[in-house]
Chains A and B, each alone.
Chain A
Amino acid sequence: MTETSNAHLSPETFVAEFKKHGVSHVVWLPDSETNFLYVLMKAEPSLTLVAVSREGLAFSTAAGLYAGGKTPVILIQNTGMMESGDSMRGWGMGLKIPVVMMVGYRGYTRHGVNTDTAATYTERFLNAFGINYYLVESDADADRISVAFEEAKRTQRPVAVLVGDEYHGFTTKP
């Protein structure tokens, strides 16, 4: 990753991708450093926010929304995703819900040695379930979000976007 003016991840990028792919509902549980995104989503009239109390409930909520003709996205942290394994299996994969899950990649680091087991097991967990994923570290990676939406629709499966800027948080555009 080169250090360029795009070397930050802005919440505007996420909201723009949500709108581009017709997202109607964001089913979410707050994770660290996403408040900028929350404020933007709340102000966006095309998005309805559905706050859940445990990440597993995000998958069944998204399944119901999809069954009713809507386009949900799931926004959770990797810790909660790992807690949600059975719901992801049964409500997401079992019912063939083409949902993109934006996963805060707590502990991810490009430099040095990871010391957070939440990061250690994130990709192993997704691999165990056979769920494809795309790492997004900056606005320059925004096209990967589009790839995830298109893949979910084409394969009728959940696809993950790992938000690898977790420790820095979303930043506003300069």
Chain B
Amino acid sequence: MIDTAELLKIFNRHRGDAIVVPGRGGRHWVNISGKPDLDVPLGDPAMGGHASFALGLAMALPHRKIVLFDSEGDIMMGMGVLATIAEQKPANFYHFMLDNECYATTGGQPVPNAKAVKYDALAKGAGYPDAYAFDNLETFETNVERILSKPGPVFVALKVNPEVNNTPIGQRKKWLKRSALQSIEALRREIGIAT
């Protein structure tokens, strides 16, 4: 199992000027990233949609590298997105998936067939040309630069430690430093899109 914050710190060394949709890694990423205007932390607009949002970004901005930190719970809610991504073949899209085997924000209940699902195999079966799976930080660190230098779409399943939260939603500490809308507006300004 991998510590998500440590994983993101390693990724950050190889980020370059990629646009990052940090997804379920957002609570850590907002404190690690040095390029907040190229980040799109959205919180949770509606579960299951991060991959297709990032796909849309990748298709709209084919000359920018788009990196997503998805989750297995999100993928489970809309697994067909893997086929859509594979069909569109965005060469600039890097699909990392944080798999903690549970719904951590609702108390840690397991996702369906939590320990047995091979998400890299699902991605390959859906048509991704390349898919990987790592369950330790050292292997990830060894491979991440090479993965990011390959043409996308690339899928990387990562076994991470669950960070279970049982606090009622209304009492949780807010981690977003700006709203999802503000992040999108900042990105559009940064890359020269009129808002």
Decide: A64 and B181 in contact? CB cutoff 8 A.
no
Decide: A50 and B49 in contact? CB cutoff 8 A.
no
B76: interface (CB < 8 Å):
no
List chain A positions with a Cβ less than 8 A from chain B: 25, 27, 48, 50-54, 56-70, 72, 86-87, 89-91, 94-96
Decide: A87 and B49 in contact? CB cutoff 8 A.
yes
**Which 4 pairs show the lowest CB-CB distances between chains A and B?**
A64-B56, A68-B60, A53-B80, A60-B49
Residue in A48, A60, A96 whose beta carbon sits within 8 Å of that of B46 in the complex:
A60
B33: interface (CB < 8 Å):
no
Decide: A51 and B180 in contact? CB cutoff 8 A.
no
Give B15-61 interface residues, CB cut-off 8 Å to A: 40, 42, 44-61
B188: interface (CB < 8 Å):
yes
Q: A50-B84, A51-B87 are in contact. Are A62 and B46 (CB under 8 A)?
A: no
B5 CB to closest chain A CB, in angstroms?
26
Q: Which residues of A contact B51 (CB under 8 A)?
A: 60
Residue in B42, B46, B56, B88 whose beta carbon sits within 8 Å of that of A87 in the complex:
B46
B193: interface (CB < 8 Å):
yes
For A63, the closest partner residue in chain B by CB is: B53
Q: A69-B193, A95-B180 are in contact. Are A56 and B57 (CB under 8 A)?
A: no
| A86 CA to B46 CA, complexed, in Å | 6
B79 CB to closest chain A CB, in angstroms?
8
B81: interface (CB < 8 Å):
yes
Decide: B78 and A57 in contact? CB cutoff 8 A.
yes
B184: interface (CB < 8 Å):
yes
| A58 CA to B48 CA, complexed, in Å | 11
B61 CB to closest chain A CB, in angstroms?
5
Q: Which residues of A contact B81 (CB under 8 A)?
A: 52-53, 57
Decide: B59 and A50 in contact? CB cutoff 8 A.
yes
- Which of B57, B79, B80 is the most central at the interface, judged by chain A CB atoms within 10 Å of its CB? B57
Residue in A48, A51, A61, A70 whose beta carbon sits within 8 Å of that of B53 in the complex:
A61
Decide: A67 and B181 in contact? CB cutoff 8 A.
no
Q: Which residues of A contact B53 (CB under 8 A)?
A: 60-61, 63-64, 67, 91
Q: A52-B80, A96-B181 are in contact. Are A64 and B60 (CB under 8 A)?
A: yes
B187: interface (CB < 8 Å):
yes
Q: Which residues of A contact B80 (CB under 8 A)?
A: 52-54, 57
Q: A64-B60, A68-B193, A69-B61 are in contact. Are A53 and B84 (CB under 8 A)?
A: yes
17 other A-B residue contacts (CB within 8 Å) besides A25-B56, A64-B57, A64-B59: A50-B84, A52-B80, A52-B81, A53-B78, A53-B80, A53-B84, A60-B53, A61-B52, A62-B56, A64-B53, A68-B56, A68-B57, A68-B59, A70-B59, A72-B56, A86-B46, A90-B46
